[in-house]
């Protein structure tokens, strides 16, 4: 199962524009788009980054955009961006950053008789985050059962001592549980005819 999110980083720097560039403000936007993949362990919600790479779909987007703006009215800036980016949310967020940068720059030159045009540099980084959720290979119950079965296979359930490869032990035919041969002999002598663990009959009775 996959889920995704997007992270947008926008950095804007506004400068007074040289007269040689004209009387309209200039905005230069550089774009970088990447995909970053993460692996989520569904058992403990541990998140592991798998790395990032350039977004293949970014080839359809011009990495460098240059605009001339007659004004910094928010709607005008948005409309100019929308014609280039064709993305409402992206255009809206970048236009807000441009207007904020213009207002900061204008406040610093408030005593000038005429506000000069601005040269604004915008750096945009759009990260497409993809989260791959991996279900656990086994449930906790399955793991506990397998661990329990493993412990059973290592221990004689009659004397509760470990089964060693050097010991003489018997494996019951109907359930494959193992016990020390002397322990099982004593168990059967006492009139028990079933496995001490699962209670399956040691010998099948004739029909």
Report the pLDDT value the prediction gives residue 147, as an integer from 0 to 100. Answer: 52
pLDDT of residue 112: 56
What does the block give as tokens for 180? 């020390």
Domain count, the chain: 2
Is 144 a domain residue? no
| Residue 186 CB neighbour total at 10 angstroms | 13
Q: Are 172 and 181 in contact (CB under 8 A)?
A: no
Residue 177 lies in a domain: yes
User: Out of 60-74, 88-102, 149-163, which region has the weakest mean confidence (pLDDT)?
Assistant: 149-163
Question: Is 142 a member of any domain?
Answer: no
Has residue 140 been placed in a domain?
Answer: no
Structure token pair of residue 134: 């991996």
Task: Return d(Cα 198, Cα 176) in angstroms, integer.
Answer: 10
Residue 164: per-residue pLDDT: 72
Q: Of 115-119, 138-142, 165-169, 186-190, which gets the smallest average pLDDT?
A: 138-142
Residue where a domain terminates, one of 76, 100, 134: 134
Average pLDDT over residues 67-88: 92
The structure tokens listed for 37 are 């993949």
Residues 115 and 51 in one domain: yes
Written as six digits, the tokens of 81 are 């961006």
Of 110 and 19, more confident: 19
CA 144 vs. chain centroid, Å, equals 28
pLDDT at site 190: 84
Based on the domain organization, do 93 and 163 belong to the same domain? no
pLDDT band for 114, please (50, 70, 90 cuts): low
CA 81 to chain centroid, in Å, comes to 31
- Region 93-104: mean pLDDT is 93
Q: Which of 103, 86, 84, 104 is nearest to 28 (CA)?
A: 84
The residue range of the domain holding 167 is 152-207
* Tokens read off for 135: 């279900």
Mean pLDDT in residue range 156-165: 78
**CATH code (residue 187):** 3.30.40.10
**Co-location of 10 and 86 in the same domain:** yes
Mean predicted confidence (pLDDT) in 97-119: 80
| Secondary-structure percent of the chain, ordered helix, strand, coil, rounded to 5 | 30, 35, 35
What pLDDT, on a 0 to 100 scale, did the predictor assign at position 141?
A: 46
**Rounded CA gap, 31 and 79, in Å?**
18
pLDDT digits (tens, 9 = 90+) for 163-196: 776 667 788 888 878 888 888 888 888 888 888 8
Q: Domain boundary residue among 105, 134, 163?
A: 134
Going 68 to 105 to 75 to 122, the CA torsion angle's sign is: positive
The full DSSP string for 145-160 is HHHHHHHHHHB-TTT-
Give me the chain's average pLDDT, please: 81
Cα 116 from chain centroid (whole Å): 47
Q: Hey, which bits of the chain come out as E strands?
A: 2-16, 25-41, 47-54, 64-69, 118-134, 169-171, 178-180
Whether residue 207 has pLDDT greater than 50: no
pLDDT band at 134 (very low <50, low <70, confident <90, very high): confident
């Amino acid at each position: 199962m996959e889920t995704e999110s997007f992270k947008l980083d926008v950095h804007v720097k506004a400068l007074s524009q040289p007269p040689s560039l004209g009387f309209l403000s200039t905005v230069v936007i550089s774009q970088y788009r990447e995909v970053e993949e993460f692996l989520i362990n569904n058992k403990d919600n541990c998140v592991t980054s798998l790395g990032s790479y350039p977004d293949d779909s970014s080839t359809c987007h011009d990495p460098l955009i240059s605009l001339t703006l007659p004004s910094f009215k928010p709607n005008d800036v948005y409309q100019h961006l929308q014609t280039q980016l064709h993305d409402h949310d992206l255009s809206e967020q970048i236009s807000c950053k441009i207007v904020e940068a213009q207002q900061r720059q204008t406040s610093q030159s408030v005593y000038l008789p005429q506000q000069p045009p601005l040269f604004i540099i915008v750096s945009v980084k759009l990260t497409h985050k993809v989260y791959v959720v991996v279900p656990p290979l086994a449930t906790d119950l399955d793991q506990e059962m397998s661990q329990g079965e493993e412990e059973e296979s290592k221990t004689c359930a009659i004397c509760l001592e470990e089964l060693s490869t050097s010991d003489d032990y018997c494996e019951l035919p109907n359930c494959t549980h193992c016990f020390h041969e002397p322990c099982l002999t004593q168990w059967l002598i006492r009139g028990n005819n079933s496995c001490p663990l699962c209670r399956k009959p040691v010998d099948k009775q004739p029909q």
